[in-house]
Amino acid sequence: MPLAAVLASLLALTLSPVATFAAPGVLPYVHGTSTEPVYSYQNAIRESVWVQTPNDSDKDGKPDRVRVDIVRPREAASTGVKVPVILEASPYYSCCGRGNESQLKGYAADGTVNAMPLYYDNYFVPRGYAFAAVDLSGTNKSQGCPDVGGPAEVGSAKAVVDWLNGRALGFNADGSPAKATWTTGKTGMIGKSWDGSIANGVAATGVPGLETIVPISSISSWYDYQRFGGVLRAPGYVTYLGGLVNGRAQGVCEPQIDAAQAASDDSTGNYNAYWAARDYRSTVNKVHASVFVVHGINDLNVTTSQFGRWWQDLAARGVPRKIWISQQGHVDPFDIRRTQWVDTLHQWFDYWLQGLHNGVMSQPMASIERPSGEWTTASTWPAIGAVDKPVFLGDGDGTTGTLGGFPSGAVRTFTDDPNLLEGAAVANPNQPLASRAVFLSGKLTQPLRISGIPSVTLRVKVNKPTTELTARLVDYGAQHRVDYLSDGSGIHTLATKSCYGESTATDSACYLDTAVDYTDSNVDVLTRGWKDAAHSVSLKTVTPLQPNRWYTVTVPMDAYDTVVQPGHSLGLVVVGSDTDSTSPTTTGATVQVSLAGSYLLLPSIGNLPFVRTAPQIGTTTLKAQALRRPERNGDFR
């Protein structure tokens, strides 16, 4: 054996006391169909590279360069073993932190990263992966400016994938060229919220080398995040988000953020070129990476329409995929089902990045948590057999209407009340309230599975040029449920810790444990939907309503999956403004609803019982809650 090879082998053994020799042609970190922790995390290479992007988002006349902090196994580099890359591109590495403990990047005296948020590097680097953490354009230590999910941010992350595959320029701190000769080029992107949204966006560019993405609680269309059917979620949201993550010196990015805010057009709520550039679903035909979607079915920050419509588009193209749906809100699966999540993620990356045939794609595609906290599996999502069924609205007793009977020719009337919060809107459905219309099913005699994307079509006459229309699907019935309205969106943090991977003096692999929050309640809002009636013709233009004219307005609702139990009633509650979740331009309109032209489209298995009169529900209590717009409660990560 040549002397150089002998020295390299001795070096590998010195640096990694757990390293093992592999048979010829077998990677040293692969055992059977799994990667194993044979490399030293303590002695891993930690380096920083600045990758040049095709954008000049700060308008300084030069292409932006974004910082990439990398941790990779030294033994692999020493022996010429190339490794794939797990990549997280985030704007939160200095402003807000990642994970339940809001971890930030940490740096040694020489500027090299010595602490990465989360466990991805601790766990996967010893198993033959590199981990790369990208500061999105204009954030932390990167050049450029943040553009809130736009071409600069997506382009900055895409450029890193290109660099890993030899198609983009990289530079060391001294300006010398940096080449990623140590990697196979196979890259998997992961991240929660904004981070996972960028993963969706990069996948939608079709960049070669991106083999898989794992978007957690992530956005697929920023219009649908900051607008709900033409209704503003909050004014000035682009300024708020861009300023939140801006890491540049005062005055560098403010003009660009201000211009983006103006382009987003709060004044009309229209879908325009600004939003089209942030609509990843519009280029879903370019996605070739596999997709592992994770989302809380009760996420009130990144609402479930984001994964529901993205999933439908991926399914239509036959993209390899997997999905986890939890009962919590905007919560990472690491803090819900920790051991199972890490094991499944490990298998997923081993399959897609290491090429190990471990059977993960033969497992059930969907893993779904029920309100009780029990997890079930299914071969696909939505559920096989779930059919979009029109459920007609009946007049009932003239106060409370019915779901599941014959369509009625009656007209129901309500008046928009911006002070009507959700708790009051859904409470005590048999009592008259001038600001809502309520329709109830009979009490179920068998379980009703709801699985998919509901909608409500309303035939309305409005006495103002527009009004917001808000629809809520409600489960009326006593049950022990996951409490997604708790302070932790369904979890609370414990004092104990568990460890996933190896630690160093500056980067611990141990994290505070969590537990699920539960509540006993007799009412639960399942899913919601919003629409500005003046956007009923098109989201691209405002079409003011004419008085004394009937219009058909469809209110899309957020994707949902649950089983409504026997003895419960399903309710549809329709109101005007929703100041819990949106910032509507309240008009105080009086809305007439023709029941003959109105219906709920419910993706379901099973039928609602036929009723002529709505059942008596009795007193209901919905837990008091803070306003849910993320900028009001800090739940933006």
Residues 6+ away with beta carbon under 8 Å from 172: 48, 49, 50, 178
The region, left, alpha or beta by phi > 0 then psi within -120 to 50, assigned to residue 13 is: alpha
In three-state secondary structure terms, 65 is: strand
Which positions of the chain have pLDDT values less than 70? 1-25, 623-637
Q: What is the pLDDT of residue 17?
A: 33
> What are the Cα distances from residue 423, in Å, to 188, 301, 485?
42, 18, 12
Q: Which DSSP symbol is given to 344?
A: H
Which residue type, as a one-letter code, is found at position 75?
E
pLDDT of residue 627: 52
Q: What is the Cα–Cα distance from 635 to 491, expressed in whole angstroms?
A: 13
Per-residue confidence (pLDDT) for residue 10, from 0 to 100: 34
Residue 254's alpha-carbon distances to 150, 237, 259, 631, in angstroms, are 16, 14, 8, 19
CATH 2.60.120.260 domain extents, the chain: 387-481+521-628
Q: Which of 330, 346, 535, 568 is catalytic?
A: 330
- Give the pLDDT of residue 624: 56
Whole-angstrom distance, CA of residue 569 vs CA of residue 566:
8
Q: What pLDDT shows up at residue 423?
A: 94
Phi-psi region of 449 (alpha: psi -120 to 50; beta: other; left: phi over 0): beta
Q: How far is CA 227 from the centre of its chain?
A: 16
pLDDT of residue 623: 67
Instruction: Collect all residues with Cβ–Cβ distance below 8 Å to 285 and sequence separation of at least 6.
Output: 317
- State pLDDT tens for residues 112-131: 999 999 999 999 999 999 99
Residue 460 CA from chain centroid, whole number? 33
Write out pLDDT tens, residues 54-96: 999 999 999 999 999 999 999 999 999 999 999 999 999 999 9
- Tokens at residue 40, please? 């030293």
DSSP state letter for 383: P
Which residue in the list 147, 162, 299, 483 is annotated as catalytic? Answer: 299
Place of tokens 């007793």: 397
The CATH number of domain 387-481+521-628 is 3.40.50.2300? no
- For the question of residue 193 being annotated catalytic, the response is yes
Alpha carbon distance 64, 587 (integer Å): 45
> Could you confirm whether 388 is annotated as catalytic?
no
- Taken as a whole, the chain contains a residue count of 637
Active site residue 568: no
Please state whether the peptide bond connecting residue 382 to the residue before it is cis, i.e. omega within 30 degrees of 0: yes
| First-residue to last-residue Cα distance in the chain | 53
Q: Which residue has the tokens 């948020």?
A: 117
Q: Cα separations (Å) of 86 from 158, 160, 199, 468, 501? A: 14, 12, 11, 43, 15
The SS3 assignment for 209 reads coil
Please answer whether residues 445 and 592 qualify as being in contact, where contact means their C-beta atoms are separated by less than 8 angstroms: no
3-state secondary structure of 510: strand
What CATH class is the domain 42-378? alpha beta
Range(s) of the chain covered by CATH 3.40.50.1820: 42-378
Q: What is the pLDDT of residues 395-440, one digit of tens each?
A: 999 999 999 988 889 999 999 999 999 999 999 999 999 999 999 9
**∠ CA 210-215-219 to the nearest 5 degrees?**
115
Q: HSE of 137 in the Cβ direction (CA atoms, 13 Å)?
A: 33
State how far the Cα of 31 lies from the Cα of 37, in Å rounded to an integer.
Answer: 10
Point out the catalytic residue in the list 137, 193, 218, 489. Answer: 193
Please, which residues bridge with residue 461 across strands? 592
- Among the listed residues 124, 44, 51, 101, the one whose alpha carbon sits nearest the alpha carbon of residue 77: 44
